[in-house]
Chain A
């Protein structure tokens, strides 16, 4: 099956700990994205990558880090510097930056 997979679906962490969210795609897409979704708000872009070994900050990159060592993978690390990390995180990919984005099923991160 072709698609984009996020894991885990639910994640719990203690405050002050770094945590990494996984995102893998087998669609052969060049572009990948990370979004954050909070209740009552639109999706906000954290980071995006147009090609392997390159990525750009989005609107709310502070407290997050990413890597793009492989075309298929774009992991997101939520660091302890992120002041309010509890949220629903969505990963997406697209052929190019101006084409349809396909989303994963999301990871709900809860920091206690």
Chain B
């Protein structure tokens, strides 16, 4: 069964600090992995997408990494801002079968001033 596990479940950091969110998956065969940011009460917005051949991809202060061998991804946030407070969701697509993505439960990040 395809699964996506995210850790930690929640995280509280001070403004200006860095943090790293983890995503482990068992989806196979792998197509791509996407990180979404979801503000409270809003729809998710894509931050970055990783394909099999990509190890690192940045989007401003967000840097995603992918290790396809160990089936792990991380999202690193640099110099956090109050606006980074949100839920971060890891979504993995398979290249076989129905193409329907598998969603992680998300990591809830709170940035305190």
Residue ranges of A at the interface with B (Cβ–Cβ < 8 Å) = 6, 40-45, 48, 58, 88, 90, 92, 97-98, 100-106, 108
Contact = CB atoms under 8 A, between A and B. Distances in A.
A105 B42 contact: yes
Interface of B: 4, 9, 31, 34, 41-46, 49, 89, 93, 95, 98-101, 103-106
B103 A100 contact: no
Given A100-B46, A106-B41, A48 B100 contact: yes
B29 to A, nearest CB: 12
B43 A42 contact: no
Given A42-B89, A58-B100, A98-B99, A103 B44 contact: yes
Name the prevailing secondary structure of the A interface residues. Answer: loop
A28 B82 CA distance: 35
Contacts of B93: 98
Given A58-B100, A98-B31, A42 B44 contact: no
A25 to B, nearest CB: 12
21 contacts: A6-B43, A42-B4, A42-B106, A43-B89, A44-B103, A45-B100, A48-B100, A90-B43, A97-B98, A97-B100, A98-B95, A100-B34, A100-B46, A100-B49, A101-B101, A103-B43, A103-B44, A104-B43, A105-B42, A106-B41, A108-B41
B99 A97 contact: yes
Contacts of A45: 100
Nearest to A103: B43
A50 to B, nearest CB: 9
A108 B95 CA distance: 32
Given A43-B44, A97-B100, 19 more contacts: A6-B43, A40-B9, A40-B105, A41-B105, A42-B89, A42-B103, A42-B105, A43-B89, A44-B103, A88-B41, A90-B43, A98-B99, A100-B34, A100-B46, A100-B49, A101-B101, A102-B46, A103-B43, A106-B42
